[in-house]
């Protein structure tokens, strides 16, 4: 192991803990201190009797000063107690465990698909004539700009209703994954393709590319063995952002395609102000960010040996 | 046997009327070295690329004859070119730091041509047998110590010389009959340059043809059998190397020969502008009574943290007096730039002391230094990097001008430009609209603006063509004569330091090995390393 690597990871994990604390605090402040918590706990229906109100306030400690409530919340989170859903009468941890599988499937499929699409677009167009590049670059821009709920709806209309190739909604298994993953992957693929092509073309103007060609290599060899690796560097950098865009997109896509998952759970929890569920999902996303960024950090030196010396410092 | 036959090669960028290479003809025999010499933009590299079919998409290439190793390549398809590249012609580019893939191990880079051509010939789909042994053998052949371990290194882990050797090994790997070396030693220090030239000489002795491309006539004339001088896309003169240097016929060749720093006329009166100033042996005598501008005493500097320390400077002492130039020569990593940063007060020394005009400089806080900062000015190797590209020349030079008021400032800026040989038209130009020489003149004007007592010049001419180098050196000498400014002149080039310095200090591994009057050091170096350094820069390659 490299010297200093352990320390480096420890520091990153510490800063990750700080991020999680910030996320928990923001959740507490924005949701807990505003509005009628008792109403949120009881859910819609007839207004609670004063009797019931008092009972809830006592049970949840809502008459304590907010600092005490905040401290209690942090203590619960620290012990791994994510709380009890107001609306579904289940432990939040169980809810998450049930819903995380489909979302992970969707996110991983969309991430792979976006990288695949980006690599394909890059290889097909890098170094081509101006017309091809302008056309593809325009398409990529479109992919970035189109809201993915719209893309999802159009894909549904086209490939489920007009041409029934894929199941419409709620279908389990790989076939049901295709359309939502596509809708989710498109914007990320657009951005990645633009960045990758730029980097690939830059790498191919560098002297080492001339060296490689002068050894008798063809364009395929140059890209497969040399320049695509250079183009992968910004993709690694952007993977944190890709995760963000996937997490945000999942909320909409899961609702459109009526898929089970964290996004749909989050949407319904937010609508009914189910604070423990919202907090848990926000914390989970924050943790995912921390982990992804740590992994990216550790991946960098593997791809770019020039960073190994620096990372060791 | 004729390896390469080029007849009337013309190369044009699409949409341009003027060809970039204009009717070039030459031949290279097996075991022979032809050098193409000329300034940047003369078409040398394009001519070389034409031998690889790598001139780029937007070029039209035509030739009456273009034969390589018996093949007529004028109608070659891309596939045929690929079979030729690496196996028949091998390329060595400048600066292996960027000419080797920085993400791959050098062993893989060297093995690459072997794999490519084995695959092309339809041999085993996997790795051909014995590639690892061949790579080690190649590394040994190019003089890389401990090749078994070094083949696992990345380019950035090697010194410039070792990197360049690895690059040469990769060009030799598929055993080409012709090596094309495009500025193979330009980024290297004299001693390493010498070693690399020897290595190329070995390839020649082994019967390979060699096309050597350089802007430096001095370098190529030591290895080349024949020299072809290029200017504006055409070969203006061709001949045996020795004859061409001793008796150039074309006027342009003559300017190149004259620009060789060792050959500059020593007599100021013989110089074109007739101004006084130091030449090969320096005429201006520093005022002996002047208090030193810069006094460096026993300075040491160590980089890194405990465990991974590197001593950059050991007990370095020197003085620079008014009107005097002290040249510092050494290879990269010898501590020259660290010394410059300490002298500038940008880096605190770990030991020792720096005095400016006899008053404390390195030991005082930055707050107190700031008011005296204008006393020392810096000239970089690369002015492009040191200028804000959005600034005009007036803005750039104006940064250093201390005069107040629009008219006074403008007058001072114009005067400074005149001093560095630029007229008022340059006031509104921006850096990218100037040549390298003009940019360096602007950098000098900016450095002179606050009327400094000391100029620190860090490789100020290394990025320039030889004839421009000579002009800038002349300019610096003239300015010193005019203003009495002292100079600390840092360079890796012995010929440059010889031209400009009154005294010279030779540095290696953070030590000053030898210091004394330039003429004395050059005539009779005492330290063994100094002797080796001088020998490397003067001896012809056998």
Is some CB atom of chain A closer than 8 A to the CB atom of B163?
no
Indicate whether A47 pLDDT > 80. no
Per the CB < 8 Å rule, is A214 touching B100?
A: no
Where, residue-wise, is CATH 1.10.3720.10 in chain A? 96-312
Give CA separation, B356 vs A280, B300, B326, B343, B480, in Å.
64, 18, 15, 9, 19
B265 in a structural domain: no
* Spatial contact of A127 and A197, defined as CB atoms under 8 Å apart: no
Q: Of B258, B274, B301, which one is at a domain's C-terminal end?
A: B258
Question: Residue B281: which H helix or E strand, with range?
Answer: none
* Spatial contact of B503 and B516, defined as CB atoms under 8 Å apart: yes
> At residue A153, what are phi and psi to the nearest 5 degrees?
-65, -45
Residues B384 and B520 placed together within one structural domain of the fold: yes
* Spatial contact of B150 and B106, defined as CB atoms under 8 Å apart: yes
Domain that holds residue B6: 1-88+177-258
Per the CB < 8 Å rule, is B85 touching A309?
A: no
Residues B230 and B158 placed together within one structural domain of the fold: no
Q: pLDDT per position in chain B (542 positions), as tens?
A: 789 999 999 998 887 888 889 999 999 999 999 999 987 778 888 999 999 999 887 888 999 999 999 899 988 999 999 999 999 999 998 877 789 999 999 999 999 999 999 888 776 555 667 889 999 999 998 888 888 888 898 888 887 788 889 999 999 999 999 999 998 887 677 778 888 899 999 999 999 999 999 888 878 888 899 999 998 889 999 999 888 888 888 988 888 887 665 554 443 333 344 333 334 444 455 555 678 999 999 999 887 655 556 788 999 999 999 999 999 988 777 888 889 999 999 989 999 999 999 899 988 998 989 889 999 999 988 777 788 888 999 999 998 898 888 999 999 999 999 999 898 888 988 888 888 888 999 999 999 999 999 999 988 887 777 778 888 899 999 999 989 999 999 988 888 888 899 999 999 888 999 999 998 888 888 888 888 877 776 544 43
State the pLDDT at residue B28.
95
Residues B382 and B520 placed together within one structural domain of the fold: yes
Find residues 81-100 of chain B whose CB sits inside 8 Å of chain A.
Answer: 82-87, 89-91, 93-95, 98-100
Per the CB < 8 Å rule, is B98 touching A208?
A: yes
Residues B149 and B10 placed together within one structural domain of the fold: no
Which of A207, A211, A305 is facing B103, going by the closest CB pair?
A305
Residues of A in CB contact (< 8 Å) with B are 206-208, 210-218, 221, 225-226, 229-230, 303-306, 309
Indicate whether A137 pLDDT > 50. yes
B147 in a structural domain: yes
Q: Give CA–CA dist B153/B147, Å, rounded.
A: 10
B336 in a structural domain: yes
Tell me if the domain spanning A96-312 has CATH number 3.40.50.300.
Answer: no
Q: Of B239, B258, B277, which one is at a domain's C-terminal end?
A: B258
Per the CB < 8 Å rule, is A213 touching B103?
A: no
**Which of helix, strand or coil describes residue B125?**
coil
Q: For tokens 């008796």, what's the residue?
A: B247
Question: Residue B352: which H helix or E strand, with range?
Answer: strand B351-356
CATH number of the domain where residue B423 is located: 3.40.50.300
Question: Residue B2: which H helix or E strand, with range?
Answer: strand B2-13
Q: Give CA–CA dist B259/B467, Å, rounded.
A: 5
Q: Please tell me the total count of domains within chain B.
A: 3
B202 in a structural domain: yes
Residues B75 and B192 placed together within one structural domain of the fold: yes
B276 in a structural domain: no
Q: For tokens 């819903």, what's the residue?
A: A99
Nearest to A285 by CA among A24, A12, A14: A24
**Which of helix, strand or coil describes residue A225?**
helix
Q: Of B258, B289, B305, which one is at a domain's C-terminal end?
A: B258
Closest chain B residue to A128, measured at CA: B57
Per the CB < 8 Å rule, is A216 touching B104?
A: no
Residues B162 and B183 placed together within one structural domain of the fold: no
Is the ipTM value over 0.95, yes or no? no
- Which is it for strands B209-214 and B33-37: parallel, antiparallel or unpaired? parallel
Other beta carbons within 10 angstroms of residue B147's beta carbon come to 21
B469 in a structural domain: yes
Identify the DSSP state of B291. Answer: P
Residues B534 and B398 placed together within one structural domain of the fold: yes
Residues B381 and B500 placed together within one structural domain of the fold: yes
Question: What is the nearest CA distance from A26 to chain B, expressed in angstroms?
Answer: 40
Per the CB < 8 Å rule, is B95 touching A213?
A: no
Residues B415 and B501 placed together within one structural domain of the fold: yes
């Amino acid at each position: 192991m490299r010297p200093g690597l352990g320390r480096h990871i420890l520091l990153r994990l510490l800063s990750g803990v700080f991020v999680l604390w910030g996320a928990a605090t923001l959740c507490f402040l924005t949701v807990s201190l505003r509005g009628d918590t008792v109403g949120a706990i009881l859910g819609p229906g007839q207004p609670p009797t004063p009797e019931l109100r008092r009972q809830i306030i006592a049970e949840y400690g809502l008459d304590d000063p907010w600092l005490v409530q905040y401290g209690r919340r942090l203590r619960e989170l620290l012990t791994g107690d994510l709380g009890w859903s107001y609306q579904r009468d289940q432990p939040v941890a169980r809810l998450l465990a049930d819903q995380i599988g489909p979302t992970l499937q969707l996110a991983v499929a969309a991430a792979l698909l976006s990288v695949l699409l980006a690599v394909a677009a890059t290889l097909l167009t890098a170094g081509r004539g101006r017309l091809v590049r302008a056309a593809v670059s325009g398409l990529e821009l479109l992919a970035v700009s189109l809201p993915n709920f719209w893309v999802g709806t159009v894909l549904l209309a086209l490939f489920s209703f007009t041409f029934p190739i894929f199941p419409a909604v709620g279908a389990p298994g790989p076939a049901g994954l295709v359309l939502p993953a596509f809708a989710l992957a498109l914007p990320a693929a657009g951005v990645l393709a633009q960045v990758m092509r730029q980097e690939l073309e830059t790498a191919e103007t560098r002297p080492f590319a001339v060296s490689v060609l002068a050894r008798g290599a063809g364009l395929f060899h140059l890209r497969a063995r040399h320049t695509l690796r250079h183009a992968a560097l910004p993709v690694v950098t952007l993977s944190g952002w890709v995760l963000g865009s996937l997490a945000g997109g999942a909320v909409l896509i899961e609702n459109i395609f009526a898929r089970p998952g964290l996004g749909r759970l989050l949407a319904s929890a937010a609508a009914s102000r189910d604070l423990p569920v919202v907090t848990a999902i926000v914390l989970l996303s924050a943790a995912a960010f921390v982990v992804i960024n740590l992994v990216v950090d550790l991946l960098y030196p593997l791809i770019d040996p020039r960073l190994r010396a620096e990372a060791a410092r | 046997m004729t390896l390469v036959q080029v007849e009337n090669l013309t190369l044009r960028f699409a949409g341009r009327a003027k060809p970039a290479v204009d009717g070039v003809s030459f031949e290279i025999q097996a075991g022979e070295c032809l050098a193409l010499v000329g300034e940047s933009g003369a078409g040398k590299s394009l001519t070389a690329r034409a031998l690889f079919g790598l001139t780029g998409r937007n070029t039209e290439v035509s030739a009456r004859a273009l034969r390589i190793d018996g093949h007529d390549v004028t109608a070659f398809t891309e596939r045929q070119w690929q079979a030729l590249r690496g196996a028949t012609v091998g390329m060595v580019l400048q600066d292996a730091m960027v000419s080797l893939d920085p993400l791959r191990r050098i062993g893989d880079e060297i093995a690459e041509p072997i794999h490519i051509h084995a695959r092309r010939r339809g041999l085993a789909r996997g790795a051909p047998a014995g590639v690892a042994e061949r790579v080690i053998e190649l590394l040994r052949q190019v003089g890389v110590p401990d090749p078994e371990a070094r083949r696992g290194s990345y380019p950035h882990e090697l010194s410039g010389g070792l990197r360049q050797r690895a690059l040469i090994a990769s060009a030799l790997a598929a055993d080409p009959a012709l090596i094309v070396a495009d500025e193979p030693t330009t980024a290297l220090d004299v001693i390493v340059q010498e070693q690399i030239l020897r290595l190329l000489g070995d390839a020649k002795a082994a019967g390979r043809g060699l096309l050597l491309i350089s802007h430096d006539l001095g370098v190529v004339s030591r290895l080349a059998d024949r020299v072809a001088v290029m200017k504006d896309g055409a070969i203006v003169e061709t001949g045996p190397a020795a004859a061409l240097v001793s008796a150039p016929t074309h006027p342009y060749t003559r300017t190149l020969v004259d620009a060789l720093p060792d050959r500059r006329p020593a007599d100021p009166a013989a110089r074109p502008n007739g101004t006084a100033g130091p030449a090969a042996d320096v005429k201006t005598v520093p005022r002996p009574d002047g208090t030193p501008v810069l006094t460096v005493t026993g300075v040491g500097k160590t980089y890194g943290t405990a465990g991974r320390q590197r001593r950059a400077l050991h007990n370095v002492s020197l003085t620079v007096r008014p009107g005097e130039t002290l040249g510092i020569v050494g290879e990269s990593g010898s501590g020259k730039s660290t010394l410059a940063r300490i002298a500038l007060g940008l880096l605190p020394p770990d030991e020792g002391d720096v005095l400016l005009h006899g008053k404390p400089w390195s030991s005082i806080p930055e707050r107190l230094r700031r008011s005296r900062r204008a006393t020392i000015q810096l000239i970089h190797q690369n002015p492009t990097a040191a200028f804000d590209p959005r600034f005009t020349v007036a803005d750039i030079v104006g940064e250093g001008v201390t005069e107040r008021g629009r008219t006074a400032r403008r007058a001072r800026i114009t005067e400074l430009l005149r001093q560095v040989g630029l007229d008022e038209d340059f006031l509104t130009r921006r850096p990218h609209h100037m040549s390298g020489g003009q940019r360096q003149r602007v950098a000098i004007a900016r450095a002179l603006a606050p009327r400094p007592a000391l100029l620190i010049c860090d490789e100020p001419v290394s990025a320039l063509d030889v004839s421009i180098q000579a002009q800038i050196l002349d300019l610096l000498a003239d300015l010193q004569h005019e203003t009495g400014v002292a100079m600390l002149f840092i360079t890796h080039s012995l010929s440059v330091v010889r031209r400009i310095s009154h005294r010279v200090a030779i540095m290696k591994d953070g030590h000053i090995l030898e210091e004394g009057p330039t003429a004395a050091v050059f005539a009779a170096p005492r330290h063994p390393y100094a002797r080796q350094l001088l020998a490397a820069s003067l001896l012809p390659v056998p």
